[in-house]
């Protein structure tokens, strides 16, 4: 595999700051994870998840980064790069935002900054894998000029694979 630069871990946009995880993100991160509705996450469980993310980043040089609003300073979710179903060479872009922050363009704004960070590592292509029913996520990807590539089938349904070349 070619060598890639480490992804920048501090990104700023007009309304948002993406920066490294802190242990103090655990309570807000647990609320976000609990909003998925699959199970309740304690702050301790979220702290462990943060530890796992930080360890993964030390190994991979890519990261999912917490998103903080510049004006309120609150944690509203995360966005970044992850190997996911793809590879470290052509990773996935991923994002998840707290419900209270949806539909204000934040995911698109954060993901645009992550595209720049991905290009800065020297990578040439990103992927995203999304359930076909996830209209908001597909819309974010369309706004970012990702294009549909293929479908795969998993135990819990179809997965749409989208891709985007980096400049």
Binding site for ligand COA (CB under 6 A): 95-97, 102-108, 130, 134-137, 139-140
d(CA 133, CA 139): 11
Task: Give the number of other Cβ atoms within 10 Å of residue 57's Cβ.
Answer: 21
> Facing residues of 156 across strands?
none
d(CA 91, CA 114): 12
Least separation in angstroms between CB 127 and ligand COA: 11
Least separation in angstroms between CB 46 and ligand COA: 16
Least separation in angstroms between CB 84 and ligand COA: 9
- Between 12 and 122, name the residue whose CB sits nearer to ligand COA: 12
- Between 65 and 140, name the residue whose CB sits nearer to ligand COA: 140
Q: Order of strands across the sheet with 16-18?
A: 11-12, 16-18, 64-69, 75-82, 92-97, 125-130, 157-165, 147-154
- Between 97 and 113, name the residue whose CB sits nearer to ligand COA: 97
- Between 33 and 166, name the residue whose CB sits nearer to ligand COA: 33
- Between 46 and 107, name the residue whose CB sits nearer to ligand COA: 107
Least separation in angstroms between CB 4 and ligand COA: 23
Least separation in angstroms between CB 103 and ligand COA: 5
């Amino acid at each position: 595999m070619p060598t890639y630069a480490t992804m920048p871990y501090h990104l700023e946009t007009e309304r948002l700051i993406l920066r490294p995880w802190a242990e103090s993100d655990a309570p807000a991160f647990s609320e976000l994870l609990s909003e998925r509705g699959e199970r309740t996450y304690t702050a301790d469980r979220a702290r462990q998840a943060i530890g796992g993310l930080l360890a993964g980043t030390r190994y991979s040089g890519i990261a999912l980064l917490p998103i903080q609003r510049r004006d309120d300073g609150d944690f509203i979710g995360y966005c970044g790069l992850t190997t996911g179903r793809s590879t470290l060479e052509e990773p996935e872009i991923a994002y998840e935002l707290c419900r209270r922050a949806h539909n204000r363009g934040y995911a698109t704004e954060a993901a645009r900054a992550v595209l720049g960070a991905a290009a800065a590592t020297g990578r040439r292509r990103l992927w995203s894998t999304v359930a076909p029913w996830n209209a908001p996520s597909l819309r974010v990807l369309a706004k970012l000029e990702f294009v549909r590539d293929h479908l795969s089938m998993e135990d819990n349904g179809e997965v749409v694979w989208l891709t985007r070349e980096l400049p």
